[in-house]
Chains A and B, each alone.
Chain A
Amino acid sequence: MKKAIVPFAAVLLLAVLPYVAVQFAGLGFLFGIIIPYIAIVVFTTGVVYRVIDWARSPVPFRIPTTCGQEKSLDWIKQDKLENPSNFFQAVARVLSEVLFFRSLFRNTKAELHDGPKLAYGSSKFLWLAGLAFHWSMLVIVLRHYRFFIEKVPGFVQILEAGDGFLDVTLPALYLTDIVILAAVTFLVVRRLQDAKMRLISLPTDYFPLFMILAIAVAGVFMRYLTKVDVMSVKDLMINLVHFNMTLPEGIGPLFYVHLFLVCMLAIYFPFSKLMHMGGIFMSPTRNLSNNSREKRHINPWNPDIKIRTYAEYEDEFREKMKKANLPVEKK
């Protein structure tokens, strides 16, 4: 599977690079300070640019995909979430997609049996794995906030306490660490195992999965096994936040692997399908209310089109129309 092996090799290479560079070439400053700044600049400007670029293209037509009963006669019950008729209902619909992956929850698996007969089974694993992965990712990213600020904020402590409630290792095992590793592994295996998925997957689909997996593995190693000097890491991060470009001593090379992969993923982000994070909010089939007969939607470039007018039509068919006793404008 070349499509999976190439990105896998690329991620391995990206992981080894900072290890060697920091451990043997003393390039800590480059990997600890310069590259993170570059990554932040590229990520932020890139994401903002892409979103603005999308927003520059207008939405000429109101094209929600309606997945439930429309608002019509008073006595017919509208499905307000699946077929919103005003702005707030549309917001609720987008949130149901963003927070709970509503549409993916509908997923089915088609099977062709003898007969021939088609059957549609419920198939929620993609929804479950997708949701588990994205929510774990969010919690993990928020947990990392503790490294960027002197006094750890309350919400981070609550997250940590909740996430670590199992309390089985030292330091406490985070549930999200397990979940993200399991979910991403599932998403990779799914792409390799299912014939349809193998066919549609591109190297750019495997690459971010392997990157995230590598980042998580490096993180897990640092936290539970090789134990980097967390205080020095925090010093470095706070320095970065305050534009203080000094590199604390004694951070293990594994940390630089973790950090470099995060930076690479951040740089890759705006140029890739990872932009779906922004796209989901802008999708015109989901974020518009289905009220196009009630309120006129404006197309900013509505073209002027010369139509065939009734007068032209009557001119061509007048005699025939008269014979058929059809009223005409010009006798």
Chain B
Amino acid sequence: MPKFAPKLSELKKEFEEKPGLLKGDYSDKEWWEIPVEFRDGNWCYPTKPEVLEDLKFANPRKWSPTDDDWKLPDGWEKTIKEGMKDRVERFRSFKLFLDTCVRCGACADKCHFFLGTGDPKNMPVVRAELIRSVYRNDFPLAEKILKGFSGSRKLTPEVIKEWHMYFHQCTECRRCSVFCPFGIDTAEITMMGRELLNLIGVSNNWILNPVSNCNRTGNHLGIEPHTFVQNIESLVEDIEDLTGITVEPTFNRKGAEVLFITPSGDVFADPGVYTMMGYLLLFHHIGLDYTISTYASEGGNFGFFTSNEMAKKLNAKMYHEAKRLGVKWILGGECGHMWRVVHQYMDTMNGPADFLQEPVSPITGTKFTNAASTKMVHIAEFTADLIKHGKLKLDPKRNDHLTTTFHDSCNVARGMGMFDEPRYVLNNVCNSFHEMPENTIREQTFCCGSGSGINTEEYMDIRLRGGFPRANAVRHVKETHDVDSLVTICAIDRATLPALMNYWNPGVSVYGLHELVGNALVMDGEKKRTEDLREDPMAGFEDEEGDED
């Protein structure tokens, strides 16, 4: 059991017995009267001073959210108010979403953090009110005349503590915005809230340390180029042991047709590495002319959880490297927020990518017209196209030892709309796919509970609660269809869902889509396969002598 996790029996008891808003109990306290309480498991370690100094961010110091005094810089109120005014003027979304909410309550029970904690301030409408209440108090709106009447309040250190707590109990998953009649997107509010907090040095080390690493070494984990290469080479050896096939990835190679970029979690973290092995097998299978960069060795972008400027700075490496290497286009691996940035931000921030060409699959000749400007293709689109054209030799029976369901990652679901491509791939590489209940998939999918840079150990209590709605839907298919494999196309999912499953649904493992592709691929000249990429025995492929059927 992780150190910061509540005991399962106690948490279950809390869900069942503790009165809460979700069960219709109301303490008759207003939300602004409920104090903010930091306790073990509900706060992340603050950013170390040296990390803030490295990034030239404000107010480097030693502090902790449990301290009474957060050592906010002199004039912090002014910084926040001016920062808010500046952002209201630069982002129509922010301004409009502060102004147009009618508090209809449609979003209230749509947030995974509200469903998992029952905390009133986790209702998306209240999360936004945390900022709105200050905005109404301090800005020359006529609502100012109606102070008290309109739910406005002064900016105090307590408000900052509240912002810090609740803008990190939002994973910017946008589920609430699906249901909002005005399309109010709490992710926009949270992003602005976090930008403002960064102006006064209130931030989490788990977000800013990767940002600093990514800037220097090219990836969140701070892996230097030689180690990065070594790790992939060790995966190449594993592939050779399992299949007898030697795949030959190249690094920083000029003149390759395609630059492949995936989250560094796929290169280093279990079970992401198996997904990486799947990519390598796939590229070998089709003879793709590709290269991997050690400089742009991160698909993910924790800058996106910091500020739009930092997101731009980290994202810029993709085009910078593609230009240097002279590739034709970029292929992106499985990741959630990476694809939110690539799909909705990259071209705007760092384009136009006029040095690249409109992506064309060298195998099928398919033109990816939907990526005509950004020139970056999602691996699920790429593979779906390959399968549709019959270019892959697949044996879905090789995944018969798994009973699967598919978790739509928030960002590719609600920030892109990629639903059918991964399902098409999955249905072609396995025989056992079962959907979770309809209110928990596709555009209504539930976050893993740990996205947007909160996937740290010390935050486990909140993560397990936030992930409860997702886990609960998985449990449903586990009970009804014996599902034991949760397939995702997101590196943060792969990093965080195993802990969530161990806690709520022991026996369910987490897979990347291309890991299953790798299992199913029948490679030319391969040796007899008896084990999948993670060396688990495959059903029906046992060695002859051990085969009792």
Contact = CB atoms under 8 A, between A and B. Distances in A.
Contact of A293 (B16, B102, B372): B372
Given A106-B179, A108-B439, A204-B146, A54 B103 contact: no
B106 A69 contact: no
Given A199-B120, A290-B417, A61 B348 contact: yes
B264 interface: no
A270 to B, nearest CB: 8
B16 A67 contact: no
B309 A286 contact: no
Contact of A321 (B12, B294, B349): B294
Given A73-B388, A200-B125, A285 B348 contact: no
Interface string A28-65: 00000000000000000000001001111111111101
Given A66-B443, A313-B218, A54 B95 contact: yes
Interface string A300-331: 01110111111001101100110111110000
A79 B179 contact: no
Interface string A197-230: 1111111110100000000000000000000000
Contact of B90 (A50, A57, A120, A271): A57
Contacts of A298: 348
A114 interface: yes
Interface string A67-108: 111111101110100110100000000000100010110111
Contact of B469 (A114, A118, A271, A308): A118
Nearest to B294: A326
Contacts of B180: 103
A109 B416 contact: no
A71 B145 CA distance: 47
A159 interface: no
B419 A126 contact: no
B331 interface: no
B224 A320 contact: yes
B92 A305 contact: no
Nearest to A280: B182
Interface in A3-31: 6-7
Contacts of A50: 99
Nearest to A208: B102
Contacts of B415: 63, 65-66
Contacts of B184: 283, 285
A282 B253 contact: no
B143 interface: yes
Contacts of A196: 21, 105, 108-109, 120, 123
A65 B178 contact: yes
A273 interface: yes
A2 B309 CA distance: 44
A284 interface: yes
B183 interface: yes
A90 B342 CA distance: 21
A72 B418 CA distance: 8
A117 interface: yes
Contacts of A170: none
Q: Which of B180, B224, B417 has the most CB of A within 10 A?
A: B417
A316 B103 CA distance: 53
A326 B229 contact: yes
B420 A76 contact: yes
A65 B254 contact: no
A314 B469 CA distance: 45
B226 A323 contact: yes
A122 B503 CA distance: 29
B373 interface: yes
Interface string A133-144: 000000000000
The A interface, classified by DSSP as helix, strand, loop or mixed, is loop
Contact of B384 (A62, A73, A111, A283): A73
Contacts of B480: none
Contact of A305 (B253, B313, B347): B313
Given A199-B26, A200-B126, A313-B218, A205 B347 contact: no
Interface string B104-117: 11101110000100
B23 A297 contact: no
A60 to B, nearest CB: 6
B252 interface: yes
A38 to B, nearest CB: 15
B374 interface: yes
A110 interface: yes
Given A60-B348, A200-B103, A130 B439 contact: no
B457 to A, nearest CB: 24
A185 B146 CA distance: 25
Contact of A200 (B99, B108, B215, B312): B108
Given A59-B93, A275-B99, A116 B115 contact: no
Interface stretch (B66-74, B276-284, B363-371): B363-371
Contacts of A85: 370
B443 A321 contact: no
B6 interface: no
Contacts of B309: 303, 305
A69 B91 contact: no
Contact of A273 (B21, B90, B102, B183): B102
B123 to A, nearest CB: 6
A279 interface: yes
Interface string B57-101: 000000000000000000000000000000011111111100111
B417 A195 contact: no
A299 interface: yes
A297 B345 CA distance: 9
Contacts of B224: 317, 320
A116 B15 contact: yes
A63 B384 contact: no
B225 interface: yes
A285 B92 contact: no
A68 B370 contact: no
B357 interface: no
Contact of A66 (B417, B440, B468): B417
B504 to A, nearest CB: 10
Contact of B183 (A58, A97, A107): A97
A268 to B, nearest CB: 9
B181 A104 contact: yes
Interface string B452-483: 00000000000000001100110000000000
Given A54-B99, A62-B344, A294-B370, A103 B183 contact: yes
A296 interface: yes
A134 to B, nearest CB: 10
Given A68-B419, A203-B149, 20 more contacts: A6-B149, A54-B92, A57-B95, A58-B90, A63-B188, A67-B178, A103-B179, A116-B12, A198-B26, A202-B103, A203-B150, A204-B150, A292-B345, A292-B348, A293-B376, A294-B371, A295-B373, A296-B348, A305-B309, A307-B317
14 contacts: A54-B96, A57-B94, A58-B92, A66-B415, A71-B370, A76-B384, A77-B420, A197-B105, A200-B126, A283-B100, A293-B371, A296-B347, A302-B349, A310-B324
Q: Which 8 A-B pairs have the closest CB atoms?
A: A279-B100, A70-B417, A66-B417, A271-B142, A195-B26, A324-B226, A285-B183, A116-B15
